[in-house]
Amino acid sequence: MMNDRADYLKFLIDNKKVVVIPVPPKPKFKKKDLEVDPVPSKFNVPTDLKNKQVVFSGTLKRMGRKQATDLVEQCGGHVVDAMRRGTQYLIVPDNFKHNTNKSEQAKNYGVEVMTENVFLAILKLNKLWNS
């Protein structure tokens, strides 16, 4: 009687019922190899607004300017009215037309333009937005 898998394989091999193809051993992973960053670095998406200077342009669809300003400040950021050197993000509605004065200034200063959806994703990561 066959007691285990090895006996069964030996039986099949001895009776020429199978062709054995060696299987490479499973790779052994360390826990750190399985850890994943919350945002892939190749996309260069910010995860917070701490110590960042932010400007809004246009009308956001999901919140008013006051609420958006309060949320940026809760994330540790600072909202300014006008584009200037040192500004990190211009936050715009998702359907934003990139031909405004602020968007031109953002391009000239090298400021990253962030859509409302990306802004909301940052708020969700910081547990400040539930929708």
* pLDDT at position 79 over 90: yes
Global confidence as pTM? 0.63
Is the domain spanning 47-125 CATH 3.40.50.10190? The answer is: yes
* pLDDT in the model for residue 130: 75
H/E segment holding residue 9 = helix 5-14
In the predicted model, what is the mean pLDDT of the chain?
79
* pLDDT at position 128 over 90: no
Domain ranges across the chain: 47-125
In angstroms, what CA-CA distances link 31 with 26, 44, 115?
A: 15, 25, 35
Give residue 90's pLDDT band: very low, low, confident or very high (50, 70, 90): very high
- 4 or 59, which is more confident? 59
| Interatomic CA distance for residues 67 and 91, integer angstroms | 14
* pLDDT in the model for residue 88: 93
